[in-house]
A and B are shown apart, each in its own frame.
Chain A
Amino acid sequence: MAEFQGCQLPEDLYYDLDYVWARPGDDGTFTLGVTDPAQTMSGRLQKVRIKKPGTHLEAGRHVATLESGKWAGGVPVPFAGEVVARNDTLLEDPHLINVDPYGDAWIARIRPDSISTVLERLHGGSEAQEELRSWIRRYDVQCMRCAD
């Protein structure tokens, strides 16, 4: 897995080049979560709210809000679609996002309104890797692994 300033940046994911990663599923849905540098910038998360399944969101709207002692913010969806699942585990254990942001701490699965527009705001490959490195430099982020 690619790494920059201690931040893990999996090459097999798509990114909005800000907070969010996206993983396409076989059923036409996309699983979303927040990146390692984004969870680092957030600090130890203490509260998570995630929209309920069935909620429709326009591109750019927040599917979740995250709060730590030092930070609060939203997790935007990169494309319009319907929430088909959310990770209820995070509601009880928000800190899991700090521990396993690309795995068990996925946030929601979204079915896009139009599959043809999904990639308008998502990027992959070397372009995404370079942009994410710029993001990390811009916000002066140094990632450290949380073990618990």
Chain B
Amino acid sequence: MESPIAAVLQQDHARLDRLLESAAEAVRAGRWKEAAVLLERFRHGIVDGHMDVEEKILFPAFERWETDVEHSLTALLKKGHQDLRVFFQEMAETIGASDMEEFLDLLGTVQTILRQHDAKEEAELYPFLADALPDGGGHGRRPAG
């Protein structure tokens, strides 16, 4: 059975996907100011909320539980976060420049990264968090944003 912490995190992936798609819809419609606001809402939710919780709480707990050292899985996931932060900045700049073609190119790459990254987390990390977290994740922080 899926643990509550795994369910919360998976729902957050879906919420963030919807936020990114809403920003993309605004870009496709040429509503640049709205797109900037929506992309920033997405960036805040994923960087300051979801990734922050993962990097400060969940990855360290998994590493302590699994090997007590940096694990290749969490190393890879952290690297993915680093790459994504740069892509989000580049997407914001294309909106600032009203460059739809460049934004949509970046969007395709970012959505591919997110799809693969999220699938890896949901298959290889989240199922073990209930065991890895001291309270089983029942009282963990919810991602902000």
Contacts and interface: CB of A to CB of B under 8 A. Distances in A.
B116 A71 contact: yes
Contacts of B90: 61-62
A76 B86 contact: yes
Nearest to B110: A72
Question: Does more than half of chain B's interface fall in helix, strand or loop, or is it mixed?
Answer: helix
B109 A138 contact: no
B128 interface: no
Interface in B92-116: 105-106, 109, 112-113, 116
A40 B98 CA distance: 36
Interface in A110-148: 138-140
A72 B113 contact: yes
B70 A138 contact: yes
Task: Give the interface size class of chain B.
Answer: 10 to 19
A74 interface: yes
A66 to B, nearest CB: 9
Interface string A59-86: 0111001010011111010000000000
B75 interface: yes
Given A73-B83, A74-B86, A76-B86, A139 B113 contact: no
Interface in B62-95: 70, 72, 75-76, 79-80, 83, 86-87, 90
A23 interface: no
Contacts of B109: 49, 65, 67, 72, 74
Interface residues on A, range: 10 to 19
Contacts of A138: 70, 72, 75
A140 B105 CA distance: 30
Contacts of B79: 18, 139
Among the interface residues B72, B83, B87, B90, which one has the most CB atoms of the partner chain A within 10 A?
Answer: B83
Contact of B86 (A49, A62, A140): A62
B112 A74 contact: no
A138 B75 CA distance: 7
Interface of B: 70, 72, 75-76, 79-80, 83, 86-87, 90, 105-106, 109, 112-113, 116
Given A67-B109, A72-B113, A139-B75, 19 more contacts: A18-B79, A60-B86, A61-B90, A62-B86, A62-B87, A62-B90, A65-B105, A65-B106, A73-B80, A73-B83, A73-B113, A74-B83, A74-B87, A74-B109, A138-B70, A138-B75, A139-B72, A139-B79, A140-B72
